Structure 1
Amino acid sequence: MRKKRADYVLALKGNQGNLYNDVKLYFNDTEFVAKCDYTKSIEKARSGIEKREYWQTDDIAWLAKKKEWTGLKSIAMTKNTITKNGVTTTETRYFISSLPLNVKEIARAIRSHWMVESYHWHLDVTFREDGNHTIDKAAAYNLNIIKKLAINTLKLLDVGRKNVSLKSKRYMISLSTEKYIEKIMQI
């Protein structure tokens, strides 16, 4: 990816051993976090309030695994706090990146990546994409396009009830196609 001059923002996970632990320890130190660039956003989403906080630093000279990552320029942390029906949950994630210090840019990149992951999750849950064993590459490509079109259509389709999953919408349509075909064609 760096050979093609693309930047990267990669989520760290516990199975990455010392790299994950080192970055996590850095961001757990309040003195270091206070020196990081910071931004946040608060929005209403999925019938709750989501607060997304982002910290980024280019203070990575101390990072032992730095040489293993071509172009590594910064590390980042996100803390997503969701309050829904009086219950608050918080998720903290850590990242390495080839992006220079610009916390708004890294926040955009992390958020964009989440949207792509969400889309792939919908493909798998709604259409069992991961279980697709189509051998012909052209057929697999065409099926993928049709499934993405169907997901976008399902997202836009009003079935008369709120908070209906895409999988449920698909099932409802299969039970009474005549009822929904006109609405689908108007999308």
Structure 2
Amino acid sequence: MTNTDNNALEKVFRQYFSNYVKKENVAIDGKWLNGSDANGQYTNECHKAILNILDKDTKIVFGHKFMAKNKANEISALKQAFDEDNLFSDEGQIFSFDAIQTQTEILNNIDNNGDKYIAKVKGNQKELKNKIIETIDDLKTPIDSYSFEDLGLSCGKKYVKREVEVFYSKSMDIAMYDDRFNNIKSLIRVKKTLTDPKTKEQTFMTSYLIANFRTTAEDFYNKIISHWRVETYHYHLDMLMEEDEHIAYKEPFSIAILRSFALNLFQLFHNAHKDKKLPTGKATMAEIKRTCKYDDYFTAQLFEQEYV
């Protein structure tokens, strides 16, 4: 791998998976490449990072951006991604971001291009967050709300209930004026309640998001929840592909692309055969990988089968 051209490998990767993604709902998030620096195995400052661009509908990563100076330059990497030709759809898409990517230039460029965004706002944008809270307090009553209670245990083996509230004034084209942002049409408040099944102790959390379009609270809920699929992708990279266990300071980006390639093949098979039984059990992501280890014919199917 020493002489691998990262950009050439990335070009092949994008061409291969471009046929399998819709690019209607896109999540973007960065990830550390632990073990990517020979002199910094135990410090994040020396690790490189990669920006994964995920199609939320198919759960497939269709592009990467490389961050040689760790996640500190995640914003510049994201800007470069938006400047690239043919990476995103010309027909428009909805982008979702974590708070670190809620930047004026990024969101305004998305809006100017006719695309849509949902962006989380946290304490690192204190002024913007306070303004959102004040505006919501003035509006008082949400335009629409939707709640969902997950009957399965998640978030630290707790019951989770989420309520999404959408705020804006029906008499105005924007939900809140801010001279830094072009077009904030919806303010979104998400109330999250965690309940311990044993002690019944409850923990309450509230988060805020902005969007440059309007839709129902239920639709916002689904789009916000689906953003976490990029975190699930990162979880599979760590658990299935054992990314954090490998020292890869020689061409770490090329190895990261190959891991994404394999994981995408697992995901495509899983999308098409969720109810299929493999020799060792149900077609989970873990069982798909396990079957590849001893069945060459099955592995060949991952490359040869048409999923579109």
Fold conserved (TM > 0.5)? yes
Secondary structure at the counterpart of residue 34 of structure 1: coil
Which deviates further from its counterpart, 132-141 or 94-103?
A: 132-141
Corresponding residue to 1:74 among 169, 172, 186: 186
1:10 deviates by 0.3
Change (3 A) 1:72 1:62: closer
TM-score (norm 1): 0.65
**Residue 205 of structure 2 aligns with which residue?**
91
> 1: CA distance between counterparts of 2:179 and 2:254?
40
Matched, 1:36 2:143: yes
Name the Cα RMSD after superposition.
4.1
The percentage of counterpart residues that share the same residue type is 22
> How many pairs align?
166
Cα distance, 1:143–1:123 mapped onto 2, change above 3 Å: closer
1:131-155 alpha-carbon deviations (Å, 9 max, x no partner):
86563765532222224556899xx
2:221 paired with 1:103: no
Residues 79, 132 of structure 1: CA spacing in aligned structure 2 closer, same or farther, 3 A cutoff? farther
Q: How does 1:85-164 map to 2 (within 5 A)?
A: 85=197, 86-124=200-238, 127-128=242-243, 133=249, 135=251, 139-147=255-263
5+ residue gaps, structure 2, are 1-109, 299-308
- Deviation readout 1:108-158 (Å, 9 max, x if unpaired): 2111112323332443466346x86563765532222224556899xx99x
For the residue of structure 2 that corresponds to 1:99, the secondary structure is coil
Q: How far apart are 1:2 and its partner, in Å?
A: 3.0
Is 1:45 the equivalent of 2:152?
yes
CA contact (8 A) 1:123 1:147 kept: yes
Quick check: 1:12 aligned with 2:12?
no
8 Å Cα contact 2:237/2:259 also seen in 1: no
Displacement of 1:34: 2.2
Give the structure 1 partner of residue 305 of structure 2: none
SS in 2 for 1:17: helix
Bigger fraction of residues in helix: 1
Q: For residues 19-51 of structure 1, give each alpha carbon's deviation from its aligned partner in whole angstroms, at most 9, with x where no partner exists.
A: 011113344x3x634243111112212254321
User: Which TM-score applies when normalising by structure 2?
Assistant: 0.43
In the aligned structure 2, how far is the partner of 1:20 from the partner of 1:82?
23
Q: Which residue of 2 aligns with 1:54?
A: 164
5+ residue gaps, structure 1:
160-165
Summarize the Cα distance change of 1:12–1:134 in structure 2 as closer, same or farther, 3 Å threshold.
farther
Q: Larger deviation: 111-120 or 144-153? A: 144-153
